[in-house]
Amino acid sequence: MTNEAPTAIHFERSLNWLDTNRQKLTRIAVVVAVVALAASYYFWNQAQQEAAASAALSDVPPGAGAAEAHLKLAAKYPKTSAAPRAVLVAAGDLFAAGKLPEAETQFKRLLDEYSESPFRVQGLLGVAACLDAQGKIPDAVTRYEQIVARYPKEAVASQAKSALARLYEIQNKPAQALPLYEELQRTEAYSSFGLEANIRRLALLAKHPELAKAKAPTASLK
């Protein structure tokens, strides 16, 4: 017995099903095509936006008005990768101009609006630096400590440790400052952070000789 008859019946049923549902299938195909076209346009448009934003970012001249120009650029291209970069640069410009509250606002904006940005750690450091420069020592210490704890391997960690040790000295906490200076001396021996740390370490030990005695090994009793 062959399978020709069941196969023919099955084929005929398939044709009937296709004829019955042809209009529905056509509608589905049209919807799929429209969705694919929309997705294609979205990604094309996003690429165009990225290119335009990057070009605009590189065209902003330095000097007066640069911060405002960068902020306008971020507002014009809010969904591009150039936007958080523009906010970060604007915050840096404001900091350099001594506009510390405004700079702090923009650094915090970077953290709030672009929390997934790779520039987040620079935003954290910027907030800490603004608090530091405004004399808000306890708040700045807290921020620097957070950076050191969360991002110990990042390049900004050395800058945070250097600033943190200095603020510990201001808070009259030499025992907390010394280990940071010693660490920077070891890990950043050939950088400005390491050189400054060694100078501050020596000055700190000269001012607080008890710290050196505390670190000296205890002589064994005979």
The model's pLDDT over 18-75, given as tens digits with 9 standing for 90+, comes to: 566 666 555 555 444 444 444 343 333 445 556 655 555 555 556 566 788 888 878 8
The answer regarding whether domain 47-134 maps to CATH 3.10.100 reads no
CA–CA distance from 133 to each of 18, 41, 92, 111, 141 (Å)? 74, 47, 13, 19, 12
Q: What is the pLDDT of residue 9?
A: 60
For the chain, which residues make up each domain, given as ranges?
47-134, 137-210
| Helix, strand, or coil (residue 220) | coil
The model's pLDDT over 174-220, given as tens digits with 9 standing for 90+, comes to: 999 999 999 999 998 888 888 999 999 999 999 999 888 766 554 44
Residues in the chain: 222
Block residue for tokens 């960068």: 70
Q: What is the pLDDT of residue 17?
A: 56
Residue 152 in this model has a pLDDT that exceeds 70? yes
- Which residues, including other chains, have CB under 8 Å from residue 70's CB and lie 6 or more apart? 57, 60, 86, 87, 89, 90, 93
- Give the predicted TM-score (pTM) of the model: 0.70
